[in-house]
Amino acid sequence: MPDNKFTGSSKISVRVSGKALNPDEGYNLDSVITSLQNVENLIKKTYLVANDRSRFTENDAQSINIKLQSWEQGSLISNLEIWFNSVVLPTLPFVVDNREFIWESIKGSVDFLRAKFNAEKEGKSVDIRQNTDGGTAINVKAEGNSKVVIYAPQGLPATAERLQPTLQELTQQIDGTDVTSIDFSDKAEDIKQPSKVVSLNNSDKDLFGSATFTSDEQVEIVGKITSGNYDTNAGRIEVLSSATQRIEVGQSYRLKISEDLHAEDKWKEMFLSPRPYFCKYKLGGPSLNKVTEIIVTDWDESKWDDEQAV
């Protein structure tokens, strides 16, 4: 076997709490099956994202196998073992131990998305800055009353964005009664200690379920603002060209212009004229795959009056 391939296992424990998982009354079989299937989907999706792939194949099924090693009472505690068979472990900047890339990816993604969505829920703009010094911590810093800067390990924001729909699906099982929380830990002995688990509860269901995702990348477009409100920095924009396939040419999108670009003379020049912009975009929809809003972060002054920009 080549030296760069790994055969061995990694462990994750899962605790599902709620009325449907009460050992005194008997476990609701549908809740048990749904919980384990959702966790299995999350593990497989994390494996695919770490390897920059989207489809789980038969070959993958030979390379990674998820087994229920044991279960315990106390809500429903399932101790899972993820077996790898001759797998090239992905090298991710935010992962300390490559053998634990699934656990560390899930934990980091939940922490990052929670910080990002909470800030956006409060109506604050979010600036993501990726550390290149090898650090793994996520730090949140407020800048004034309307902006939050999130310092995240390199590569983690992209991983979190791709895992978000699967995490959202997992939280949708939480209803506050039959299922009140789903906890994860990389050690079976830690699953009952709140300070050592990743815990998803009813507030996370609301947060993940209603959230939109703002891209971290800044892209170039040429667009024509067809309606706008200078006081609210909002309007609609028709896209004439785009550097990303997510933003479709010919489509009209809801528009938001960064507050630091609030200049009345520039607004007059933007209106009904094709102009080059740098922007971010918000993703929404059931799988966060639809652009719902374009956020102009700057304009390209060098091409402002260039009719060939389109």
pLDDT the model gives residue 269:
86
For residues 80 and 27, the model is more confident at 80
DSSP for 57-92, please give it.
-HHHHHHEEEEEEEEEETTEEEEEEEEEEEE-----
For residues 289 and 1, the model is more confident at 289
With 70 as the cut, is the pLDDT of residue 182 above it? yes
Radius of gyration of the chain measured on its C-alpha atoms = 22
pLDDT the model gives residue 310:
46
pLDDT the model gives residue 62:
92
Q: List CB contacts of 85: < 8 A, sequence separation 6 or more.
A: 7, 62, 63, 64, 65
For the stretch 252-298, pLDDT in tens is: 999 999 887 877 778 888 888 899 999 999 887 656 678 889 999 99
Mean pLDDT of 51-56: 90
Mean pLDDT of 174-203: 89
Round the average pLDDT of the chain to a whole number and report it. Answer: 87
Mean pLDDT of 79-91: 93
pLDDT the model gives residue 274:
92
* pLDDT tier, 237 (very low <50, low <70, confident <90, very high otherwise): very high
pLDDT the model gives residue 276:
93
Distance CA 211, CA 118 (A): 9
Percent of the chain with pLDDT over 70: 95
Distance CA 86, CA 64 (A): 9
Mean pLDDT of 235-263: 89
- SS3 state at 111: helix
Which is nearest to 46 in space by CA: 203, 170, 183, 174? 170
Percent of the chain with pLDDT over 90: 46
With 70 as the cut, is the pLDDT of residue 210 above it? no
